[in-house]
């Protein structure tokens, strides 16, 4: 019972860390305009090097100035890769401003 409880506590901690890191990275990308480059990847060194991120950006409709940005955070837990995903739509208006909202979750 103790082993199961410790494993679940570790899983919850990793998921919470991944969610926080994913939201922070996506907000950073939007604030700096990095979402417009089509994506990227990296890790969260030096504080969280065990977590890796990958971002992609796509335009679902060429007639609307909206870009979908998807970001995945992955880590290895007990020998298995785990992933947490977040997504947002970014609207770049004619004045150069952007707006968007984030949604996320486990696959």
The string of pLDDT tens digits covering residues 62-79 is 777 888 999 999 999 888
pLDDT at 92 exceeding the cut of 80:
no
pLDDT at 95 exceeding the cut of 50:
no
In angstroms, the CA 33 to CA 92 distance is 10
pLDDT at 44 exceeding the cut of 50:
yes
* CA distance readout (Å), 57 to 8, 46, 52, 53, 85: 33, 26, 17, 14, 13
């Amino acid at each position: 019972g103790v082993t199961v409880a410790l494993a679940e506590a570790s899983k919850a901690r990793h998921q919470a860390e991944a969610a926080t890191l994913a939201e922070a990275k996506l907000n950073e990308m939007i604030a700096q305009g990095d979402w417009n480059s089509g994506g990227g990847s990296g890790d969260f060194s030096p504080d969280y090097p065990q977590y890796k991120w990958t971002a992609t950006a796509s335009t679902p409709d060429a007639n609307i100035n909206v870009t979908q940005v998807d970001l995945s955070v992955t880590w290895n837990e007990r020998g298995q890769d785990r992933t947490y995903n977040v997504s947002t739509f970014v609207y770049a208006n004619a004045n150069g401003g952007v707006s968007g909202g984030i949604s996320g979750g486990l696959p």
